[in-house]
Structure 1
Amino acid sequence: MKTHVKALVVGGGAVGNGIAYHLAKAGWDTMLVERDELTAGSTWHAAGLLPLFNMSYATTHIHKYSVDFYKGLEAETGLNPGFYVVGNLRMAQTDARMDEYMLYSSVAETAGVYHEFLSPKEIAERWPLVRTEDLKGALFHPQDGYINPADVTQAMAKGARQLGCTIERRIQVNGYRWTGREWIVSCVRMAEQGGNLVPTEESFEIHAEHVVTATGNHAQRTARLLGIKIPAIPVEHQYIVTEPDPALVEWRKTNPQHPVLRDADAKWYVREERGGWILGPYERNAPARFLYDVPSSFRADLFPLDLERIEEEYMSMIHRIPSSETVGLKDDYNGPICYTPDGNPLVGPAPGLRNMWLAEGFSFGITAAGGTGHYLAQMMTEGEAEIDMASLDPRRYGSWMTTEYAARKNEECYEHVFILHHPDEEREACRPLRTAPVYDRQKALGAQFGQVNGWERPNYYGPADAPAGFDHASRSFRRGAWHPFARAEAEALRETAGLIDATAFTKHLVRGPGATAFLDWFTCNKLPAVGRINLTYALTPAGTTRTEYTIVRLAENEYYLVSAGAWTAYDADWLRKCAEDRIGDFGWIDIHDVTTQWGVFALAGPNARAILNEVVKDADPATRLSNKRFPWLSYRDIELGMCPVRAVRVAYTGELGWELHHPIEMSTYLWDLLLKAGEKHGLKLVGARAQNWLRQEKSYRAFGNELGRDATPMEAGLDRFIDLGKDFQGKEAMLATGIRSKCVTLLIDGPADADPWGKEALLLNGEKVGRLTSGGWSVAFGKQIGMGYVRPDLAEVGTKLQLRMFRETCEAVVAEDSPYDPKNVRIRQDG
């Protein structure tokens, strides 16, 4: 048996074999080890559905790749993966569900996923066993269907072996040790004894440059062995198989199989199975299992069925397929399926570790296996995938995440598989958890909170005592109940002043003899002088955008870095790893995550200076906050009342403003002080949704939207923040990439009751030429606004494009960069 390989994959389910196949295809010497038999985990009892439907841009690409890849496996390997291309029919009982499908249609269009819309009449004509009189319509994917999980896994395994991969069964990993160059993986041979797997006396080590864990239900054991946190915990999923349905048997004598049927509003899927039906519900109160470990006796086992828990879904199947009412039950399955708190798998580098890659938390593992292998192999062998994989990165969860949190959120995620996926959705489990000191004050003032990285953050402020019949929790794919409140906040910030709680910002202190040289290489812009700030970007080695930073230079070799609040662990891991890699070149560097030490209030608007002048303590009131004393893009240590503040002259909304970074324990004092001072100056509290609209009016790119690992800063139109006169990480790759697409701002004439969400395809004469990455409402222009990427030849101001909203085509015109106040007169105004 091999003991030295380039890449070791741990886990022999569908996902592990998909990764092993693609690493071997890329030319890496690859080995896969499995503690039991291939498919012995959740793969064996999976229903094998292959839904293309997904609201995530990255996951849609992964699923599409899998569906296309599986269709060619038999020709390559000689093994039939059992792919039944019967299609997938998602039915809708409500207008809101049809709105969801129309929004998904935008995502599918950007990813090139074919789909159709069907009316109830068309459904009834094609599949008369389905009751349709209470349906609004359906979304149909004719190119997917279902597959035999064991067969497709074995086909990928054979393909991997043909490409040179070694696959070993009955090997359990008991430890990992990093030497600085490679992983030494401690293993033991397993044997069957009395129906259980037990370790033998045969132990050995495998040396690997890279390790990928795809351990499924055993993710918590993997986390302990690696000394990290992995929020992948299984939840019970049950499905039942009926006896043959005589009506279905008769139908099949002259007709093809039904598509996989999904009645999303009833929370189930159904497909044919040997003349009968498989019903898979996503019911309430399905419990998380194996929070800490999988019992050694649990192999290809199941849990007892809980029929009472799925009674409602079972009855709704009978309603939708009346012929199933008299059919008996033949088989039942209740097994563990892994979830994560947001439903997306964990794919990418393990936090804090070198050459350790995670592929965990797959609730749709059969669908994702091929695509995950493809894109993860690209990341490992080429440095980056061709699509931005940040939304799946394991480091999107920080060290604050606990087992209890993951278990409860994963249960919620399971329950929400078929609950409407509103873009303004805010799920309630495990909240509030991380709160700024002013949380209770904000709540009393009508704050309606969203959650980012566990932090509670006001999305908007509504009346604390909402009138009867008004529901702040209502959601919509069009303009929700929150829209007029956010609009009023945006208008107030443009006209008077607004106060935004930005405490969730990620903050790092970087200092030491090597700090200046390191940051100069780490980021693409010039470093600011002492007392000044600069906007800059850290690039990937592939030349794409890895992180956006506001850098505040506190001293010659001391810097305060501010980045997006959703990405604290993601940014911290990359920052530290890059510093460690170059410590021999630049010298000692001290890096601290100080996110929870500093609160941040953003005060902006024409009256912002007047408000601060009410409370700032300075010897010369006439020049306290003037441009001469405190120019744009500078910082000063000031005192507001009794609170010491690191004030930064910048505003993400494009108005005169300051970010007020302060000791977090003084947040309540400073909050009260600012609100009192702002009373006579028209100060209004502003949430994240209004801020998102305002930053688009200034064409300010947002990380995770316009900025990501699939576009360079030059493609993002950030040339003014790139110093080509210096050397920096990713520079040569960025220049070699050239301009494949350009980021633009568009003003849109859309429907009267809806705004774009940033998921829509951009069209020219019906041809897809780009996609939106952000969208919303512009109070400055009185119409919808969006940002996105288009072909370079279409990025000229005035170019007329189209986008589709609710299946209607709208006109979108490319605007100048920063269409609101393009010369930054307002942000520089003196006083």
Structure 2
Amino acid sequence: MKTHVKALVVGGGAVGAGIAYHLAKYGWKDVMLLERDELTSGSTWHAAGLLPLFNMGYATTHLHDYSVEFYKSLEAETGLNAGFSVVGNLRMAQTKDRMDEYMLYGSTAETVGIEYHRLTPAQIKERWPLIRTDDLEGAIYHPTDGYINPADVTMAMAKGARQRGVTIERKWQVDGYEWTGSEWKVTCTKMVEKGGNLVPSDEQIIITAEHVVTATGNHAQRTAKLLGIKIPAIPVEHQFIVTDVDPALQKWRADGNPEHPVIRDADAQSYVREERGGWILGVYEKNAPARFEYGVPDSFRADLFPLDLERIEDQYMAMIHRMPSCEQSGLKDDFNGPICYTPDGNPLVGPAPGLRNMWLAEGFSFGITAAGGVGNYLAQMMVEGEAEIDMASLDPKRYGSWMTTEYAARKNEECYDHVYILHHPDEERPACSALRTSPAYDRQKAAGAQFGRVNGWDRPNYFGPLDADENFDHDSRSFRRGAWWEYAVAEAKAIRNGVGLVDATAFTKHVVKGPGATQFLDWFTCNKLPKIGRINLTYALTDHGTTRTEYTIVRNGEDSYYLVSAGAWTAYDADYLRKAAEDKAGEFGYIEIQDVTTQWGVFAIAGPKSRDVLKKIIKDADPETALSNKRFPWLSARQIELGMCPVNAIRVAYTGELGWELHHPIEMQNYLYDLIMEAGAEHDLKLVGARAQNWLRQEKSYRAFGTELGRDATPQEADLPRFIDQSKDFHGKDAMIETGVRFKCVTLLIDGPADADPWGREALYDGDTKVGRLTSGGYSVAFEKSIGMGYVTPDMATVGQKLKVNILGDRYDCEIVEDSPYDPTNATIRVDG
């Protein structure tokens, strides 16, 4: 048995096999896969094997699409039939809202190139007469996917991996990881059968590996403990049943008709597919419990839990309603096994937090669907340094150290019962809310705040009416303009015409200082560093020259900096920043990095009257001039006092109006909040949430990380030349230049439907040719129409270019406009007073 490898993959399910195969495919021949039991003995063996292309996430859609195409090629390569039945996938809708969901997804699918068709109830009935359709609105149909045998596809990938030189060893359990500074020492124990259980023997070896990938499925909590990190992947019970023969189905097939597609009745929280003359019913019901929160018992192998039929009675009756012919079919078999989930339902794929050359591939609720794609894109990250698509939305570091086992378990249960809940883009799931709150949370809640969650923080999305009648539903969601829309409009107008206050406490904040800080940050970011007392917007790049992080940098001293970045990415940013500084410490000298996110609260005050509000409370020898352009110019930072609160004030506004970010000691937040609200009363100061702020930044063409900015586009492609200092050397510069401009970021004004705005997931067309996609969308109060930002081919990226955008199944006119269509000269931001 080998004791040194280039890469060690831990876990022999579909995901692990897919990773091992693709590492070899991308050129790493010295790869080993370890499995503690037999291949497929985890959740793979009892998975239903469905391959749904439907997904609202851009990266996950790419993963699924790659898998479906890859699995079709395995037999030709390996000689093993992966058991892929390309029967298609029919998602039915009982409501108009559900059809809106499908049409929004359909536009997302178009951006990836996935085929789909919209079907009427009559068309469904004509093609598949066993399906009851009288209560349906319609359906979306994918002809290219279906279902696969999980064990067969895993074995085919494993054989393909072996053919490419991968070593696969079974009955070896990993019991320890140690990083030596250049490689991992992995302690492995031989597992043996004893009394029907799998137990450790006395035989141990140490394998050294340059890279380790964990794909340990239900054992993710054990993996987390061995690595000393947190992994919010915890299994939830998933039930499906197999019926006996359905005579009507048998006759349908005997008459020469094709197999039914996988039938998803999302409004009934279930799916159905054919199985040997009968049906498989799988459900995503409420109250399915999390299991193995603290680890899988040694006695649990390829085992199942007792079936709980009462829990799925409604879904069983819904199947009979939808497929009446199955009512006489008895129950043939049942499965209730653990399937891993994460709080948001997306897997955890990428570098482990705080560790070198340790890669996670955990938390797969749709592991069979994702296995091929994860193998491909993770192998790209490991071998080539970056994937061809932006994998940030799947990064394990999207959950920070604040995450606990209890949080993960409760959110994972919620995620499971939300699989078939309508996924509105304005969806906010209630479990574990009010966990991370700014001190002013209660005051804002009393003022009508309706909160959303970012990185565990509750932050206001909008402020609803306090005197709403009983018909107003704050929890109502829509793919169109929801109940919140008119309140977000009022908030946006308040900032454009008066003054508004935004709680931005969730912003990520780091202090970087020390003798090596200046040289390091000059190399780490692509823009000029600001002078002392000034600020700059800048970007840290990947090795491939794409955008890894966006920073606002405040220079407090010669070698002292305050970095502000997106609130959703605290651990993600911290990990990259610290690792880069460690790599350069020998070259630049001592660098100290502190995550001060929870030490500083942030209020953003903006609007034409913002200076008037602050003048009333600033403590200065001359309050009238303290905030003037001469004493406090745009893009500068000052230490000021507002009442008794010391404030690090930054003259910048994400909304594109005159304004300041007020960074303050978090323990003084309530005092400062009350002070500002009292001073703002005579100016009709309005509290403003994240949705209005998102609209306003699009009117200024301000790119946002995670939408316009990401690891699949360079700052040049984001059309940000003013933030790139080409005269200096910086990390990723050569790769950025070599990449060139493959596509370009633009802003568009849209003549969309009267009751809906784009969400930032829609395809863009020139005639019938797809030329790009939106990455952000919303409503413009300045232009009184829909607005969006996105990427198009360079030949289309000209002001005045007219295109079409697919919004909820129909194409609408849109036009590319100049950057910053609202106040392109920044006159309102620079206004003096």
TM-score range, shorter chain: over 0.9
Map of 1:385 onto structure 2 = 387
1:539 aligned partner, one-letter code: L
Q: Spell out the pairing of 1:764-775 with structure 2 (5 A cutoff).
A: 764-775=766-777
Map of 1:13 onto structure 2 = 13
Q: Spell out the pairing of 1:266-285 with structure 2 (5 A cutoff).
A: 266-285=268-287
2:571 aligned partner, one-letter code: A
2:79 aligned partner, one-letter code: G
Q: Spell out the pairing of 1:389-788 with structure 2 (5 A cutoff).
A: 389-788=391-790
Map of 1:343 onto structure 2 = 345
1:139 aligned partner, one-letter code: I
Map of 2:22 onto structure 1 = 22
1:521 aligned partner, one-letter code: W
SS of 1:91's partner is strand
Pairwise CA distance, 1:200: 1.2
Provide the rounded CA distance (Å) in 1 between the counterparts of 2:468 and 2:461. 16
Deviations 1:7-41 (A, max 9, x none): 00000000000000000111111100000000000
Greater Cα shift, 619-628 or 126-135: 619-628
Tell whether the 8 Å contact from 2:213 to 2:359 is kept in structure 1 after alignment. Answer: yes
Pairwise CA distance, 1:464: 2.2
Provide the rounded CA distance (Å) in 1 between the counterparts of 2:34 and 2:314. 42
Provide the rounded CA distance (Å) in 2 between the counterparts of 1:196 and 1:82. 30
SS of 1:191's partner is strand
Provide the rounded CA distance (Å) in 1 between the counterparts of 2:624 and 2:200. 79
Map of 2:185 onto structure 1 = 184
Provide the rounded CA distance (Å) in 2 between the counterparts of 1:768 and 1:449. 36
Provide the rounded CA distance (Å) in 2 between the counterparts of 1:201 and 1:625. 73
Q: Spell out the pairing of 1:357-396 with structure 2 (5 A cutoff).
A: 357-396=359-398
Pairwise CA distance, 1:287: 0.1
Deviations 1:265-305 (A, max 9, x none): 00000000000000001000000000011011100000000
TM-score (ref. length: structure 1) = 1.00
Map of 2:138 onto structure 1 = 137
Pairwise CA distance, 1:473: 0.3
Deviations 1:756-775 (A, max 9, x none): 00000110011110000000
Provide the rounded CA distance (Å) in 2 between the counterparts of 1:54 and 1:807. 16
2:87 aligned partner, one-letter code: V
Deviations 1:622-660 (A, max 9, x none): 311110000000000000000000000000000000000
Map of 2:320 onto structure 1 = 318
The answer as to 2:222 corresponding to 1:221 is yes
1:577 aligned partner, one-letter code: K
SS of 2:710's partner is coil
Map of 1:159 onto structure 2 = 160
Tell whether the 8 Å contact from 2:62 to 2:112 is kept in structure 1 after alignment. Answer: yes
Gaps of 5+ in 2: none
Map of 2:102 onto structure 1 = 101
Map of 1:67 onto structure 2 = 68
Pairwise CA distance, 1:202: 1.0
Provide the rounded CA distance (Å) in 2 between the counterparts of 1:661 and 1:509. 13
Provide the rounded CA distance (Å) in 1 between the counterparts of 2:638 and 2:108. 44
Map of 2:47 onto structure 1 = 46
Tell whether the 8 Å contact from 2:5 to 2:209 is kept in structure 1 after alignment. Answer: yes
Map of 1:334 onto structure 2 = 336
SS of 2:314's partner is helix
The answer as to 2:183 corresponding to 1:174 is no
Provide the rounded CA distance (Å) in 2 between the counterparts of 1:20 and 1:468. 57
Match of residue 805, structure 1, among 804, 807, 810: 807
1:182 aligned partner, one-letter code: E
Provide the rounded CA distance (Å) in 2 between the counterparts of 1:25 and 1:100. 37
Pairwise CA distance, 1:213: 0.1
SS of 2:140's partner is strand
1:116 aligned partner, one-letter code: H
1:541 aligned partner, one-letter code: D
2:659 aligned partner, one-letter code: G
Map of 2:239 onto structure 1 = 238
Identity of aligned residues (%): 77
Deviations 1:285-341 (A, max 9, x none): 000000011011100000000000000000000000001111100100000000000
Provide the rounded CA distance (Å) in 2 between the counterparts of 1:681 and 1:812. 36
Deviations 1:594-645 (A, max 9, x none): 0000000000000011100000000123311110000000000000000000
1:200 aligned partner, one-letter code: S
2:431 aligned partner, one-letter code: A
Pairwise CA distance, 1:552: 0.4
2:788 aligned partner, one-letter code: G
Tell whether the 8 Å contact from 1:184 to 1:208 is kept in structure 2 after alignment. Answer: yes
Pairwise CA distance, 1:530: 0.5
Deviations 1:65-97 (A, max 9, x none): 000000010000000000000000000000000
Deviations 1:166-222 (A, max 9, x none): 000000000000011100100011111111011111100111000000000000000
Provide the rounded CA distance (Å) in 1 between the counterparts of 2:96 and 2:788. 25
Provide the rounded CA distance (Å) in 2 between the counterparts of 1:622 and 1:237. 65
SS of 1:247's partner is helix
Pairwise CA distance, 1:360: 0.1
Q: Spell out the pairing of 1:298-309 with structure 2 (5 A cutoff).
A: 298-309=300-311
Provide the rounded CA distance (Å) in 2 between the counterparts of 1:11 and 1:373. 13
The answer as to 2:52 corresponding to 1:57 is no
Map of 1:86 onto structure 2 = 87
SS of 2:8's partner is strand
The two structures, once aligned, show a CA RMSD in angstroms of 0.5
1:375 aligned partner, one-letter code: Y
Pairwise CA distance, 1:682: 2.1
Deviations 1:518-544 (A, max 9, x none): 000000000001100000000001100
Q: How many residues align?
A: 831
Greater Cα shift, 456-465 or 766-775: 456-465
Tell whether the 8 Å contact from 1:43 to 1:149 is kept in structure 2 after alignment. Answer: yes
Tell whether the 8 Å contact from 1:235 to 1:289 is kept in structure 2 after alignment. Answer: yes
Tell whether the 8 Å contact from 1:216 to 1:361 is kept in structure 2 after alignment. Answer: yes
Tell whether the 8 Å contact from 1:447 to 1:464 is kept in structure 2 after alignment. Answer: no
Provide the rounded CA distance (Å) in 2 between the counterparts of 1:281 and 1:464. 39
Pairwise CA distance, 1:431: 1.0
SS of 2:624's partner is helix
Tell whether the 8 Å contact from 1:510 to 1:560 is kept in structure 2 after alignment. Answer: yes
Tell whether the 8 Å contact from 2:615 to 2:624 is kept in structure 1 after alignment. Answer: no
2:248 aligned partner, one-letter code: A
Provide the rounded CA distance (Å) in 2 between the counterparts of 1:341 and 1:327. 37
Deviations 1:396-429 (A, max 9, x none): 0000000000000000000000000000000000
Provide the rounded CA distance (Å) in 2 between the counterparts of 1:702 and 1:583. 30
Pairwise CA distance, 1:820: 0.4
Provide the rounded CA distance (Å) in 1 between the counterparts of 2:653 and 2:710. 22
Gaps of 5+ in 1: none
Provide the rounded CA distance (Å) in 1 between the counterparts of 2:193 and 2:632. 74
Deviations 1:782-819 (A, max 9, x none): 11000000001111100011111122111110000000
